[in-house]
Amino acid sequence: METIQCMEEADKVLMQTYNRYPIVLEKGEGVYLYDKDGNQYLDFASGIAVFALGYGNQEFNHALKEQIDKLLHTSNLFYNHPAVEAAGKLAKASGMDRVFFTNSGAEAIEGAIKLARKYYYKKYQRADSEIIAMNHSFHGRSIGALSITGTKKYRDPFEPLMGGVNFAEFNNLESVKALISKKTAAIILEPIQGEGGLHPATKEFIRGVERLCKEQDILLILDEIQCGMGRSGEMFAFQQYGVKPDILTSAKALGCGVAVGAFAAREKVAEAFDLGDHGTTYGGNPFATTAVSKVFDLFEEEQILTHVKKVAPYLSEKLQGLYHKYDCITDHRGIGLMQGLEFAFPVKDIISKAMQRGLILIFAGPNVLRFLPPLIITKAHVDEMITILDQCIAEVRNENKQMDRN
């Protein structure tokens, strides 16, 4: 099927919920993607923080092929070795005690909400729990996840949503304190807000929230679906801050391209679930958890965290250089290989021009460029990206100035 034919057919048979770029991708290798016409693209999005190990990792692929020939699915009526092995590795890496595997990040969030509410119900024997979430947060598209997503444009068309949710200001501890009541079961936040514009939590804020939770026996839920799995330079971003959640959610790079998510919890919290309280048909299947297990192995074998700590400062330095070069860039922020540049105008034209030059970038809000490359990028890849981006920014800035003069 040719490129135009594929796009036309997609417009006929797929629901129109995505504003897709006019590219039909066919294969990937390392940090590069290739379309059906043979064009090469340097990927600084990695499938929205999914392909931490890049494309075509042969050890990873071989492990999946082996498992395909053994067993894909059993249901959770039976044990399977890959799930047990993967859960052990996730628990060790996160410091959590118990793991529940899901099929996606949104499902992980749903499970975390249920677990927090059940913990509250068992403690107080009443079903009136409330959750404090953050403005400008993003936790997923399902109803429960939307209910704790603090961005109106995602929520408004689907009201009424789940009740009992109050929104505080991210990085404003006093706004959190003002919302705490006897009904507060949990506080949920992203250590680094992704869709909300690449805003890292301050150390004072996240430690302050953890302290409030400990003082009042409120559960702290940290959503690391996007910022976890090495992107910050630690396996999980909360480890940068010296805090520890009661419930942790993970997905995206957890499976490096295989659909899998998880929520994990401390023992005392996990014990709130009784038999039958939660379930999934596909979650924890042997294929997906083989991927998870191999991802953890490869992170260790290839010293991914060490590599991120080496290359991330270089990316940050180069982006900071662009920030100082162009007055149309109003901010540069981020941690590790999760960086953002905020502009005084929408970035869609920059993204379009970059793709025409063979560079894939995505946004985080209309005015923010988001940089989420595979964790295996080198300084040479950063230089290649910066060269292209510099040209695109200059072009768009000049075009905007010309329009203003006209």
Express each pLDDT in 201-236 by its tens digit: 999 999 999 999 999 999 999 999 999 999 999 999
* E strand residue ranges, 57-177: 98-102, 130-134, 165-168
State the chain's mean pLDDT as an integer. Answer: 96
What backbone torsions phi and psi does residue 158 show, to the nearest 5 degrees?
-115, 10
HEC readout, 295-328: HHHHHHHCCHHHHHHHHHHHHHHHHHHHHHHCCC
Contact 354, 334 (CB under 8 A): no
- Interatomic CA distance for residues 336 and 371, integer angstroms: 10
Tokens representing 334?
């981020």
In angstroms, the CA 207 to CA 222 distance is: 12
Are residues 175 and 169 in contact, defined by beta-carbon separation less than 8 angstroms? Answer: yes
One-letter amino acid at 353 equals K
**What does the alpha-carbon distance between residue 365 and residue 347 come to, in Å, rounded to a whole number?**
9
The predicted pLDDT at position 406 comes to: 63
Q: Provide the pLDDT for residue 273.
A: 97
Phi-psi region of 371 (alpha: psi -120 to 50; beta: other; left: phi over 0): beta
Give yes or no for residue 136 having a pLDDT over 90: yes
| 200 DSSP β-pair partners | 192
Tokens representing 401 are 């100035």
- Provide, rounded to the nearest whole percent, the portion of the chain with pLDDT above 70: 100
Q: Is 183 a residue whose pLDDT tops 70?
A: yes
**CA distance linking residue 186 with residue 85, whole number of Å:** 29
Confidence (pLDDT) at 191: 98
pLDDT for position 120: 97
Q: How many CB atoms lie within 10 A of CB 97?
A: 14
Instruction: Quote the tokens at residue 368.
Output: 């923010």
Q: What is the domain partition of the chain in residue ranges? A: 3-53+303-405, 58-301
Q: Is 152 exposed, middle or buried (0-12, 13-18, 19+ CB in 10 A)?
A: exposed
State phi, psi for 76 to the nearest 5 degrees.
Answer: -90, 15
Of the candidate CATH numbers 3.40.50.300, 3.40.640.10, 1.20.1560.10, 3.40.50.2300, the domain formed by 58-301 belongs to: 3.40.640.10
What CATH class is the domain 3-53+303-405?
Answer: alpha beta
Alpha helices in 125-193 (DSSP H): 143-147, 152-155, 173-177
Out of 9-13, 65-69, 185-189, pick the least confident. Answer: 9-13
Q: Does residue 400 register a pLDDT over 90? A: no
Q: Is 48 left (phi over 0), alpha (psi -120 to 50) or beta?
A: left
Residue type, 358: G
Strands 199-200 and 192-193, sheet pairing:
antiparallel
As a whole number of angstroms, the distance between CA 72 and CA 17 comes to: 30
Strands (E), 96-244: 98-102, 130-134, 165-168, 184-189, 192-193, 199-200, 219-223
Q: Is the per-residue pLDDT at 405 higher than 90?
A: no
CA distances in angstroms from 48 to 44, 289, 374, 393, listed in the order given: 9, 20, 10, 22
pLDDT band of residue 321 (cuts 50, 70, 90) is very high
The Cα–Cα gap between 16 and 7 comes to: 12
Q: Is the pLDDT of residue 32 over 70?
A: yes
